A = this chain, B = another copy of it.
């Protein structure tokens, strides 16, 4: 595998131009690019520009609306339901998070369920919008079905991530951002590219038997919930994933479970939808709705410091605070650039040619 490294701004400009070519407004193109580049900066390569061609292909099939009329369809002082008008989740989710934050400013907390959206990038981007306002941020989304519930061999749930983000004082925010499956799809892609087996407990074949083949999903297999099997708590991963699906979609009026439209353009959405698009659920709570922010931050620092100094099993390991590796990647990549694997660079340049854009030089 070969990687080419690009300065952040080169990739950002390229990505913005792609979204502009799709017909997005300047504002939306900038925002969507910001969400994707943030993911690449934070080292979550599977959710950054690697997904750009996927968005374009969905747009070509009229499954993404580049000029959405995102609007509130239901509201109380602290809750709202948003219709994303089939727009990019990358712009729909930040729109919704702003509403959650405004409600929290006035009432202490704000909660927004979103329907008729698309893939929203990394959950952490949206949750961190709240952290910037000294709030606690929550973000979750459902996703196209790849995960089987405990005891089933049917793909009924997405990797349905949930994110909790907390401001701290001298330390960076704690960001718990996790897929509720044993392994995220991006990890499978890495194994596919390297031609390696995956660990037992990540996937099962179409008959529900354990499989180590990272290509198993193309043959009718499925990802397993966090916990992997019943004995190790896969019913808990299933329950968490179910909660994400219900909050994101049953509550908002989006598609849920096996009805969630696929993220890839070559698979058609179900012909019997139960809602509109995919769903997200976002929230913000003011820290000072519970205790003074400086007190909270000082105890967050104490929490982080205590966990960072925990005794470890081996000298080479340390306890990793959730969100810490992503921030370290961000700081490093802002300086030294973003490494992109060759297949993705080629994919982006195919896109450039198709859209009449200047290709990435490497």
Contacts and interface: CB of A to CB of B under 8 A. Distances in A.
A307 B259 CA distance: 12
Interface string A254-274: 001110000000000000001
Copies in the complex: 2
A237 to B, nearest CB: 7
Contacts of A80: 290
Contacts of A228: 227-228, 232
Interface residues on A, range: 35 or more
Given A242-B322, A291-B74, A307 B149 contact: yes
A109 B78 contact: yes
B79 A290 contact: yes
Given A108-B79, A242-B322, A226 B237 contact: yes
Given A107-B76, A156-B307, A299 B174 contact: no
A316 B358 CA distance: 59
A175 B242 CA distance: 10
A-B pairs, 6 with minimum CB distance = A208-B313, A76-B108, A79-B289, A176-B239, A79-B108, A151-B317
Given A111-B289, A149-B307, A228-B232, 9 more contacts: A76-B286, A76-B289, A156-B310, A174-B246, A178-B236, A227-B227, A235-B322, A246-B303, A274-B302
B320 A151 contact: yes
A74 B107 contact: no
Nearest to A175: B239
A11 interface: no
A79 B319 contact: no
B109 A258 contact: no
A245 interface: yes
A239 B307 CA distance: 12
A287 B77 CA distance: 14
Contact of A164 (B75, B243, B300): B243
Interface string A218-236: 0000000011100111011
